[in-house]
Amino acid sequence: MNCKECHQQLMDYFDHNRESKGLQLLHSHLDSCQGCRELFDELTVILGTLEATSMVEPESGLEKKVMKRIQSLPVLVKQGDDGLSKMFMGSLSVIFTLILLISTPILNHISFLDMLIHGRSFIYRLSGIVLDCQIIYHFVSGLFSTFLFSLLQQIQSVYTIALFMTVFLGVKAVYGKLAVVKNGSI
């Protein structure tokens, strides 16, 4: 065993991992190496002293002070009751989604399936719009009416974005409620 290995073994020793085979090699090295022997002796004193003076008794009366303060605090309630607002938000999101799902095809005179397809194609178009900077160009060039016309063409697709956002918010609210019901983690 060399000194580097001895240091590692010493750390295991002071970690209270004292398997007999490693211990034998350690003591054998310590018998022949003064530097490591001194390190071992010094750490034994230092760490032994620390471990012997670990527990400290609190002053008397401190417990009473703590309980007095605890008793002045509001009584704890189970966190499930606080989830009422989250349930409400979740329900609101679901209702809003249903309204959108029903109203969008009616207002646009298209079927539900067409609406979803239209939404998907909108996403593709939106990417193109961002790349082409059409809207920015129209706005900057002052062609407000053209910009408005383009915007109106996209209005029916905004319903689809609102639909996805609402579903997302609804899922998030339900997930939040589930996380609240479960015991929190450290």
Partner 1 sequence: MEPSDSGLIQKCLAGNQDAFAEILSRYKRLIYSVIYNLMGDSQEVNDLFQEVFIRIYKSLHTYNSEYSFATWAAKIATNVCLDRQRQKKFHQVSMEEMVEISDNRENPEDLYLAKEQKHKIRMAVDGLPEKYRVPVVLFHQQGFSYGEMAIILNQPVSIIKNRLYRARLMLRDTLAANREKEAVSR
d(CA 120, CA 53): 69
- Cβ neighbours, 10 Å, residue 3: 13
Q: Tokens 């996403």 label which residue?
A: 123
Q: How far is CA 182 from the centre of its chain?
A: 15
d(CA 7, CA 27): 12
d(CA 94, CA 167): 7
- Cβ neighbours, 10 Å, residue 107: 12
Do 164 and 126 form a contact (C-beta atoms < 8 A)? no
Which one, 14 or 139, has the nearer CB to partner 1?
14
Residue from 181, 160, 122 nearest 168 by CA? 160
Which one, 20 or 183, has the nearer CB to partner 1?
183
Interface residues with partner 1 (CB under 8 A) are 11, 14-15, 39, 42-43, 45-47, 49-51, 53-59, 62-63, 65-67, 69-71, 73, 75-79, 183-186
**Helices 84-108, 112-132: crossing angle, 10 deg rounding:** 90
For the bound state, the minimum distance from the C-beta of residue 59 to partner 1, rounded and expressed in Å, comes to: 6
Which one, 76 or 152, has the nearer CB to partner 1?
76
Which one, 142 or 184, has the nearer CB to partner 1?
184
Which one, 52 or 152, has the nearer CB to partner 1?
52
Which one, 151 or 180, has the nearer CB to partner 1?
180
d(CA 104, CA 87): 25
